[in-house]
């Protein structure tokens, strides 16, 4: 039997939540396990309702961008936003969001993002990738070693240094050294820019996930 992707919808607009529930409920591999209408309920509900992905509206009853880091420790966060600001999307990714989906996109785009994140990857719509990637200038990519390319792929999956170390059977310190060298070679500032580079160069691969 296929495992269903368990979703929590967090949005303070009841009509939007209900509409999204109806649209997603027709998908055989998706299951809505909870709905959240207030930002102060995010952590309590996430702590008790097991979910694979939180669909989080940044514009709830308060701006919740700064809370993503805490939420991402519990479940994968897929941000839903009406904002067109690249800065907001970049900050959400830096805080730990695994996907950015603008509300103007069709539901097919959201389901694609959900399945990509459930498969262990970061998802960013191509149009946003292009806008952000245009600001990134990569240097010396030809000097990357096979191990560095492997680690870049792990970063694109959203893995932490400890998880990369376990997956590659190396020390966490070695992972950190490799990542710092990659930053220097490519002249990138952080893991978000590195993940975008990996997506652009097709270096990200889906990892096996135990259910």
Share of the chain above pLDDT 70, in %: 89
In this structure, of 60-74, 100-114, 187-201, the range with the lowest mean pLDDT score is 187-201
Number of domains in the chain: 2
Q: What is the mean pLDDT of residues 12-20?
A: 93
101 - beta bridge partners? 80
Residues 26 and 49 sit within 8 Å (Cβ to Cβ): no
Pair (178, 94) in one structural domain: no
Q: Is 123 helix (H, G, I), strand (E, B) or coil?
A: strand
Pair (85, 180) in one structural domain: no
Pair (103, 10) in one structural domain: yes
Domain of 191, CATH number, reads: 1.10.10.10
Pair (101, 51) in one structural domain: yes
Give the E-state strand segments of the chain in sequence order: 5-10, 30-36, 53-57, 76-81, 99-102
Is the model's pLDDT at 175 over the cut of 70?
Answer: yes
Pair (114, 68) in one structural domain: yes
Tokens coding 79: 């941000």
Report if residue 194 sits inside a domain: yes
Pair (17, 49) in one structural domain: yes
From edge to edge, which strands make up the β-sheet containing 30-36?
Answer: 30-36, 5-10, 53-57, 76-81, 99-102
Q: State which of 124, 157, 185 marks the end of a domain.
A: 124
Q: State which of 124, 158, 180 marks the end of a domain.
A: 124
Domain of 115, CATH number, reads: 3.40.50.2300
Give the whole-angstrom CA distance, residue 167 versus residue 14: 42
Question: Domain range holding 147?
Answer: 141-200
Report if residue 196 sits inside a domain: yes
pLDDT in tens, 34-86: 999 999 999 999 999 889 999 999 989 888 998 999 999 999 999 998 887 87
- pLDDT recorded at residue 138: 60
Residues 126 and 140 sit within 8 Å (Cβ to Cβ): no
């Amino acid at each position: 039997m296929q495992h269903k992707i368990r979703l929590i919808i967090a949005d303070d607009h009841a009509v939007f939540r209900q509409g999204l529930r109806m649209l997603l409920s027709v998908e055989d591999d998706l299951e809505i396990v909870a709905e959240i209408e207030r930002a102060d309920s995010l952590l309590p509900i996430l702590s008790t309702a097991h979910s694979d992905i939180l669909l989080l509206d940044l514009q709830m009853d308060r701006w919740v961008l700064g809370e993503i880091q805490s939420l991402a420790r519990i479940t994968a966060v897929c941000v839903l936003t009406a904002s067109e600001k690249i800065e907001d999307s970049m900050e959400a990714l830096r805080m730990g969001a695994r996907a950015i989906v603008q509300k103007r996109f069709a539901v097919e785009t959201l389901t694609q993002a959900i399945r990509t994140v459930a498969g262990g990857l970061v998802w960013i719509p191509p149009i946003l990738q292009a806008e952000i990637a245009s600001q990134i200038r990569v240097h010396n990519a030809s000097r990357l070693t096979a191990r560095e390319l492997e680690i870049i792929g792990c970063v694109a999956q959203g893995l932490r240094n400890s998880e990369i170390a376990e997956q590659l059977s190396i020390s966490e310190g070695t992972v950190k050294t490799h990542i710092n060298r990659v930053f220097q070679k490519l002249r990138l500032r952080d893991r978000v820019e590195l993940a975008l580079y990996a997506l652009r160069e097709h270096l990200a691969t889906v990892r096996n996930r135990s259910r």
